[in-house]
Amino acid sequence: MHAAAAIETPNFAMWLTFALILGALAFYAVEKVAVEITSLGVLGAFMLFFHFLPIAGEDGRNLLAADRLIAGFANPALITVLALLVIGQGMVRAGVLDRGARIVLSAGGGKSWLTILITLIVVLIISGFLNNIPVVVIFIPIMEAVAVRFGASPSKVMMPLSFAAVLGGMTTIIGSGTNLLVSGALDELGEKPFDFFQFTAPGIVLAAAGLAFVLLVVPKLLPDRASMANQFMEVDGRHFLAQITVTAKSEVVGLTAIGGIFGAYPDMTLRSIQREDEAFLPPFEEVTLQPGDIMVVAATRSALSDALAHDPGLLVPNLQDGRDEDEGRWRQGERVLAEVMVAPASRMASLNLNMIGFRHKTHCVVLGMQRRARMMRTRITDIRLEEGDVLLVQGQPEDISALRKSDDVVLLEWSAEELPALDHAKRATGTFLLVILLAATGVLPVVAATMIGAVVMVATGVLSLNMAARSLDSKIFTMIPAALAMGLAMQVTGGAQYLAQHLIHLLQGAAPAVVLSAFFLLIAGLSNVISAKAAAVLFTPIAVGIAHELDVPVEAFAVAVVFAANCAVATPIGYQTSLLVMGPGHYTFADFARGGIPLIIVIWLTFTLFAPWYYGI
C-alpha cells in the first residue's frame, strides 16, 4: 500500500533541517533575539547549507537553491496579508469599523462575557464563508474597542479572535485555503473531491467544543499585557473637564433628567449645565435641555476620544472673540489628539481660553482640561489656567509637533493619537466592498484584488503613504517567508514523509479509530511548524494510502487532514491570523503555545470521540 512503504532512511540533510527548525523555534520562544532577526537568520542558514549541500531534482537543479528558499517574499499569501493590513488600517482611519464596535457593544447589553461571545460567534460564522484573514483584520479594532469598553487587556481577546476565525474556517470548503488544497489533492489522486458542506457537521461539532474552550479557558491562560502607551494614557483613570454645546440638531434636545441622569453620553459625568447667565447643578431636577445650553462634563480621555470619533465638533468650545473659526486648520486634514501641560512661567497662566488666542496662534483647539485632583463645574472657556494644568488639544500632525517649540506648553510626547477621518468613510467602505466583490466572484485573484484595494486606499487619500507603511508589520514580512522555507525544506529532504511513515509503522495492527486519532495528532503538531497549507498538501496522499490499506472510507482520513492542518494555532508561524493578532495582543512566541496547545488537545479529543462514530469506523 502507499502508507506501508518502507520507512525512508534518514539522511544528513533531513537531520540538518530538523536541527535548524528546532533552533528557530527555540529562538522564537525565548525571544532573546528579535523575531525578524531569527526569521532572516534561519533563511540565511538554509541558503548557506543547501548551497554547499545541494539536493538535485530530476532536471539536475538544486531543489533548495537560494531563489526557491526566498520565494516566500513573493508568495501571494504574504502579499495578500500585507495588502489587507493596509486596507484594514484604512477602515480604521475612516472610522468605519468603530460603528461595528458600537453595534456589538449594544448587542451585549453591557455584559462583557456576552459581548465577547456574540463577537466570537459572528467571527466564527463569517469565517465559514470568507477568507479568515480579512475577517480578523476587520474585527481586530472591534475587539480592541470591546477590550477598552470593559477595561480588559487586548491580550485577553486577540488570540481568542484568531482562534474563532480558525474554528469557523473548518466548517465549509471555502472557509480556508487549506480546505481547498485538500479537496484539490483528492481530485488529483483520483478520489472524489469535497462538496461544499461535506464536512460541515463534524466541523460544527469541533467548532462548538473549541469555541466553548476559547471563551471560558483560553483568556485565563494568557498573560495580561497592555501597550506602554495605553498604560500611560489610562493611568489613574484621569478625567478631563470638557464642554458640549447643545445645538438645534443635537440628540439631547428635549431630554429631561431621570434620577439626575439624562441618558446621553453614558461614559461622561455631567457636572453642570450653563444656560446664559444661569447654572444648573446635579441632580438637575425639572431641567430640560434646550439649544444653546452648554453641558460641562468630566470624562476619561478614552471616552472623549470615542465621542470625537463619531462627532468631530462635539467638544469644540465656542470662543467669544469674534474671529472666524471656520478657517481653522484644526478642522481640516488629518486630526491628532494630544495632551500638553501649561509650563512654569507660561504666559497663558491666569488667562482663560477666550483671552489667550491659543486656537489662532497654534491652529490647535483645546477640547478639555485637567487640574490635578480638582473637579470643577465651570465651563472650560471661563477657567483661568494655572501652571501644571493639562490640556487635551486637537490639531493637524505638523501643528501638534510644532507645540514642542512653545515656551508656554510642554507637549506630552506619548499622548499623540490619530483620530478617525470620518469624511473618508464612504471611500474606505467602497474600496473594501470592491475588494470583497472582486475576490469573492473570482473576477480577480485575491492577491490582485487586495493589492488594488491597498493602492486605492492611498490614492484616494484615505491613508497617506506614511500611514500605509506604518501599518505593515515587519514580523509578518519576515516570518511567513521563513515558515514557507522551513516547510519546503521538510518536504524536499523527506523529513515530513519520514515522520508520517514512522507513525504508520508504529501503529500497524491498531484499530482504524486509533490510527485515525494518531494521524490527526501528527498532522496537528507538524502544521504548527510547516504551516497549515504545507501540511495539507503533504499529508493528503498519505491519508488516501492509509484509508485504502485499512479498507475504511477515504473521507474520514481526508477530513482529518482538513481539521488537523487547521490546528496550526500553537505557534504564530503556523497560521496567518496568528501573525495578525500578535502585535495588537502584545504576544510573545510562547504565548501561542499557552493558548494553542490546550485548544489543539480539545479539538483532537473531540475529533477522536466523534469522527469514528460519524464515519462508521
CATH of domain 237-419: 3.30.70.1450
**Which of 118, 95, 93, 92 lies closest to 105 in space, CA to CA?**
118
**Helical ranges in 422-572 per DSSP H:** 425-440, 446-459, 465-471, 474-492, 495-506, 512-530, 532-550, 554-565
H or E element in which residue 272 lies? strand 269-275
Q: What is the mean pLDDT of residues 48-73?
A: 88
- Whole-number pLDDT of residue 260: 61
- The yes-or-no verdict on residue 130 having pLDDT over 90 is no
Q: In what order do the strands lie in the sheet with 365-370?
A: 278-280, 269-275, 294-300, 239-245, 365-370, 390-395, 335-342, 409-419
**510 vs 196, more confident:** 510
DSSP 8-class letter at 428: H
For residue 586, pLDDT beyond 60: yes
Q: Provide, rounded to the nearest whole percent, the portion of the chain with pLDDT above 90.
A: 16
Q: What pLDDT, on a 0 to 100 scale, did the predictor assign at position 505?
A: 77
- What is the pTM (predicted TM-score) of this model? 0.64
Provide the grid cell at 513.
479509530
What is the distance between the alpha carbons of residues 477 and 86, in angstroms, rounded to a whole number? 13
Q: What is the pLDDT of residue 609?
A: 95
Q: What pLDDT is attached to residue 57?
A: 81
What's the pLDDT at 324? 46
Give the pLDDT confidence score for residue 229 in this predicted structure. 41
99-103, 157-161, 375-379: least confidently modelled range = 99-103
310/420 Cα distance (integer angstroms): 9
- Give residue for cell 462634563: 297
Measured in whole angstroms, how far is the alpha carbon of residue 421 from the centre of its chain?
20
Cell digits of residue 260: 439626575
Name the helix (H) or strand (E) containing 37: helix 35-52
pLDDT of residue 227: 47
How far apart (Å, rounded) are the C-alpha atoms in residues 400 and 66?
47
User: Given this model, what pLDDT does residue 447 score?
Assistant: 77
Block residue for cell numbers 490640556: 391
Q: What secondary structure does DSSP assign to 372-409, as a single string?
A: TTB---S-TTTPPP-TT-EEEEEE-HHHHHHGGG-SSE
CA distance 115 to 117: 5
In 10 A of CB 54, how many CB atoms?
Answer: 15
- Among 179, 115, 117, residue whose Cα is nearest residue 149: 115
- Parallel, antiparallel, or unpaired: how do β-strands 294-300 and 239-245 relate? antiparallel
For residue 12, pLDDT beyond 70: yes
